[in-house]
Amino acid sequence: MEFNPYLLFNGDCEEALKFYEQTFGGKIEALMRFEGSPAAQHAPAGWGNKVLHATLNLDGNVVMASDAPQDYHRPQGISVAIGLDDKDRAERIFNALAQGGTTTMPFQKTFFASGFGMCVDRFGIPWMVNCDQKENE
């Protein structure tokens, strides 16, 4: 069994995926557009070039995404959680995600982690970035 987040965007999916690809060091492996697909007939006018479905590989973890033309709502009640073992990298990723978005908890040392922070990025996706506490900390 495998679980993969499927992120929905309001027309800026491709921009978001390119940002995540750069931020995390991943690779966009697939990107299908509405145009030329059977779904094109259900898409709003002007959405032909928007993303119907995409996959982003992040160190063997797959994140899927698309633009959601029908009744888009920003995510609520869920966050994408990232666990890293390098505090500096975790903080760099957190800062990149938080830039232009909203920080709900600044990246900082906590009782359970050497670094943890929560934010909603500029695309409306909630993130939790965690760096586990080392034995000697």
Assigned domain for 137 exists: no
In this prediction, residue 137 carries a pLDDT of 55
Query: pLDDT, tens digit, for every residue of 61-88?
Result: 999 999 987 778 888 999 999 999 999 9
Assigned domain for 36 exists: yes
In this prediction, residue 133 carries a pLDDT of 79
Residues 58 and 13 occupy one common structural domain: yes
Assigned domain for 93 exists: yes
Which of 67, 88, 113 is a domain's end point? 67
Neighbours of 66 (CB within 10 A): 19
Residues 18 and 55 occupy one common structural domain: yes
Q: Domains in the chain: how many in total?
A: 2
Each of the 137 residues of the chain gets a pLDDT tens digit; together they read: 988 999 999 999 999 999 999 999 999 999 999 999 998 888 888 889 999 999 999 989 999 999 987 778 888 999 999 999 999 999 999 999 999 999 999 999 999 999 999 999 999 999 999 999 775 55
pTM of the predicted model, to two decimals? 0.91
* Of 98, 6, 3, 12, nearest in space to 51 by CA: 12
Assigned domain for 14 exists: yes
- Rg of the chain on CA atoms, in Å: 16
1, 57, 58, 112 from 32: Cα distances, Å: 25, 15, 19, 40
In this prediction, residue 52 carries a pLDDT of 95
Assigned domain for 74 exists: no
User: Which domain CATH number covers 13?
Assistant: 3.10.180.10
How far apart CA 28 and CA 17 sit, in angstroms, is 7
Region class of 36: left (phi > 0), else alpha (psi between -120 and 50), else beta: left
Amino acid (1-letter code) at residue 49: N
Residues 26 and 53 occupy one common structural domain: yes
Assigned domain for 122 exists: yes
